[in-house]
Amino acid sequence: MRDFLNNGDDVMALVFLDLDGTTLDRGRPAFGIIETIAELKQKGHRPVIATGRVPHLLYGIEKILGIEDYIAANGNFIKYNGEVVYQRFISKETVQKMVDYCDRLGIDLVLEGLYDYIALSKKTSMVDDFSEIFNIEFPRIDREYHLKNDVLSMVFFDDTKIEEVRKLFPELVFNRSNRFGYDVNPQGNLKADGINWLVEYLDYPKEDIYAIGDGMNDITMLKAVAHGIAMGNSYPELKTIAHHITDNVDQEGVRKALKHYGLI
């Protein structure tokens, strides 16, 4: 599929944009970002959201930002040109095993589906604290959700058991999302897997691919592209592997990065 050519000649850039801390500031569009994305598109480039959020938690943000395509659930769900072109769920056996483990040890767990954000329990305040940071809904408790629905990802809430649970669940990857919880996804390279899948699907030239992010789940994404850009407010680990470091989310970091590379 090669629908990305400009007048059949010049290849335009494919730009992957993280949401929280990159295009969103405390859950809302960052200052100037809507105009920046509009200008990027006007120049003929194609922006794509790449987020740890599941589709349900986008809340139409993609429409507000003016971005049609997105990679969600840390690379495990892809929507392109209005169609779902890829999705990968956590196996029901693994989800049940995780539910049993968390029940046994009294650990809070959130289950994320295509259309739901559900808590197995709220034994601590961390589940709702997690929601407050990202400005997302407080999940309702449903102890049978996983029995009737596919699970795209989970959120695990216990620092003291993280190394143990990583050993017990080698089929999963646990990635620090904020100070309260860990995103839980099928084993792999997170957003990089989604990006690589879409790039191959589009047969897109690798030298024309950019990615901008700020979180730990953006490390593989920045490593996977020719031009990996870290926000000024990024985790230090992300800055060490970035090809370029731009300004903070509230200082038009995305716009400054795109101007640095001559994309706008």
Domain borders along the chain are 5-88+189-260, 92-186
Please tell me the predicted confidence (pLDDT) of residue 6: 44
Helix (H/G/I), strand (E/B), else coil: 130: helix
Confidence of residue 7 (pLDDT cuts 50, 70, 90): very low
Burial, 36: exposed, middle or buried (Cβ in 10 Å; 0-12, 13-18, 19+)? buried
Matching CATH topology for 5-88+189-260 and 92-186?
Answer: no
**174-225 confidence digits (pLDDT tens):** 999 888 999 999 999 999 999 999 999 999 999 999 999 999 999 999 999 9
What confidence score (pLDDT) does residue 3 get?
Answer: 53
pLDDT at 16: 98
Place of tokens 């944009």: 17
Q: What is the DSSP letter of 32?
A: T
Give domain 5-88+189-260's CATH architecture. 3-Layer(aba) Sandwich (3.40)
Domain topology for 92-186: 3.30.1240
**Alpha-carbon 182 to chain mean position:** 13
Alpha-carbon distance values, 203 to 2, 172, 218 (Å) = 6, 29, 22
Rg (CA), the chain: 18
Q: How far apart are CA 174 and CA 233, in angstroms?
A: 22
